[in-house]
Amino acid sequence: MLTSVERLLFVRAVPIFKELRDDFLVRLASVMDELSFPAKHPIFTEGQEGRSLYILVSGTVRVHIGDRDLAQLEAGACFGEMSLFDAEPRSASISTLEPCECLMLTQMQLYDAIDETPGIAVNIIRLLSRRIRELNQKLNAKEAPPPLPDPVRIGEMR
């Protein structure tokens, strides 16, 4: 378990909460649930209803669809944020690779926080945009045609 000071220091370092006032972060950090998961354990699965955002305090998780890995996330990373905004089922599964500690922020807690400090919404939009860009880059790298061989000049063929 994190002490209230450790929780505040940790939350302050998470990118979506940067630039927010400490008095606000103290209140926000105090309402988050702290969860522990063993290694090789699903935190949530693709298609499941989701109404919470997770912040990885320690450990490593894998983001995957079925057996296909999409990413690995480490301490300080957030996940689960998409279903908070669009009310759609989870788009991927998250499973622990090692024992993990997480903080969980529910949809209602987040909406209350956004009402008080709209900067959180902007920071989450930045996070989502960055992830979309990274996925686009990965897709473009996989779809790029292989390079053409160097041209052979007519006089060089023998």
pLDDT tens digit sequence for 93-126: 999 999 999 999 998 888 888 888 887 888 888 8
Which of these, 45, 111, 113, lies nearest to 79 by C-alpha position?
Answer: 45
In the prediction, which pLDDT does 116 show?
A: 81
Residue range of the domain that includes 89: 4-130
CATH code of residue 106: 2.60.120.10
pLDDT of residue 3: 86
Q: Whole-model pTM above 0.75?
A: yes
pLDDT digits (tens, 9 = 90+) for 4-61: 888 888 888 888 787 778 888 888 888 899 999 999 999 999 999 998 999 999 999 9
In the block, residue with structure tokens 């926080």: 113
**Strands (DSSP E) along 3-59, which ranges?**
33-37, 42-44, 52-58
Residue 8 lies in a domain: yes
In a domain, 151, yes or no: no
Q: What angle do CA 17, 57, 25 make, to 5 degrees?
A: 30
Q: For the purposes of burial, counting CB atoms within 10 Å of the CB of 30, is it exposed (0-12), middle (13-18) or buried (19 or more)?
A: exposed
Residue 148 counted as domain residue: no
**Does residue 97 fall inside a structural domain?**
yes
pLDDT at 148 over 70: no
Does residue 134 carry a pLDDT above 90? no
Query: Does residue 136 belong to any structural domain of this protein?
Result: no
Does residue 108 lie in a domain region? yes
What's the total number of domains in the chain?
1
Q: What is the pLDDT of residue 36?
A: 97
pLDDT > 80? residue 129: yes
- Residue 154 falls inside a structural domain: no
Nearest residue to 73 via CA among 63, 65, 86 = 63
Query: Is position 64 within any domain?
Result: yes
What does the pLDDT read at residue 66?
93
